[in-house]
Amino acid sequence: MRRAVARCFVTRVLPGPALDRLRERHEVDLWPERLPPPYEELRARTADADALLSLLSDRVDAALIEGSPRLRAIANYAVGYDNIDLDAARARSIPVGNTPDVLTDATADLAFTLLLAAARQLPDALLSVQSHDWLTWEPSGFLGHEVFGASLGIIGMGRIGRAVARRAQGFDMTVLHTGPDGGVPLLTLLKRADFVTLHAPLTPETHHLIDAAALQAMQPTAILINTARGPIIDQAALIEALRRGEIAGAALDVTDPEPPPADDPLFSAPNLIVVPHIGSATRTAREAMANLAVDNLLAALDGEPMPHPVHTE
């Protein structure tokens, strides 16, 4: 028996052949631009869609869900899903899926890359070469922080946090973490760690978890890394802490908002590295994410459970 053809709105071009699998079975309305669809356009294109394949930059709120009477599946091209109103989806019995596991190693690699780059003042060293300011070898030039044998504090010991801990073993680091199974209180971790890396989901409890008080609890030689979600850090407090020298530096793959406006004071903060949310940016990870998102839509549109569901209870 021929399956019914559904209309699927996909909010960005995805790497790899996954969307071809979706096109073989269903009608695909693909947003072709580099920038995400504006919210009103997102609502308009989803209004008569049976399925939505969204990105973290797409605000899938209650108004959008309520204004899309045919919608019966949402697949988020991400591990996180704080851009989706899960209560509104649950009220309509719309399954929501994400893309877990496949970006764990890519994100852990980036977290450690940022840690090393911040520790060794890599951006300043590169800028010195590019601006032809490299005049001689200086005994006190670009003095950074030792990573081997240092202490690493991991906030959020999930899949990515554990992957970062495995990488730390190669540097003989002492690993502290929050949560169960040998975890320590957050304040203890902040006071003891030479490097603090964030891998917790964004929830009401973790919003601004790293605030002014948390930053003041860190060692003045400590470096903060965030590859999780921007709002976990109170960004204004971080900028002030960097300007006052309360911590030695920070490296961010995520910001609040994202991207920041051109005049955001974040860009003038000292000892700060910012990269444009590239934690999952390997070809392997991004193509695998596309496959999982399409698997979720195909299953839901066939009336079957999503293989990678977000549990909305």
73-127 residue pLDDT tens: 999 999 989 999 999 999 999 999 999 999 999 999 999 999 999 999 999 999 9
Strands (E), the chain: 7-10, 27-30, 51-54, 74-76, 96-97, 151-155, 174-177, 195-198, 223-226, 249-252, 272-274
The confidence score (pLDDT) of residue 174 equals 98
CA atoms of 294 and 229, how far apart (whole Å): 24
Q: Which amino acid is at 273?
A: I
- What torsion do the CA atoms of 186, 190, 192, 194 make, to the nearest 10 degrees? 140
The confidence score (pLDDT) of residue 312 equals 58
* Pairing between β-strand 27-30 and β-strand 7-10 as defined by DSSP bridges: parallel
Q: What share of the chain is helix, strand, coil (3-state, %, to 5)?
A: 35, 15, 50
Which domains are assigned to the chain? 7-100+283-301 (3.40.50.720), 104-274 (3.40.50.720)
Catalytically active residues are 229, 258, 277
Query: Per-residue pLDDT for 3 more than 70?
Result: no
Q: What number is the average pLDDT over the span 21-41?
A: 97
Residue 4 pLDDT grade (very low, low, confident, very high; cuts 50, 70, 90)? confident
Query: Are the C-beta atoms of residues 266 and 255 closer than 8 Å to each other?
Result: yes
The confidence score (pLDDT) of residue 137 equals 86
Q: What number is the average pLDDT over the span 176-182?
A: 92
Residue 2 pLDDT grade (very low, low, confident, very high; cuts 50, 70, 90)? very low
Query: Per-residue pLDDT for 313 more than 80?
Result: no
Dump pLDDT digits (tens) for 212-271. Answer: 999 999 999 999 999 999 999 999 999 999 999 999 999 999 999 999 999 999 999 999
State whether the Cα torsion 165-169-173-174 is positive or negative: positive
Report the percentage of the chain scoring pLDDT > 90: 94
Q: pTM for this structure? A: 0.90
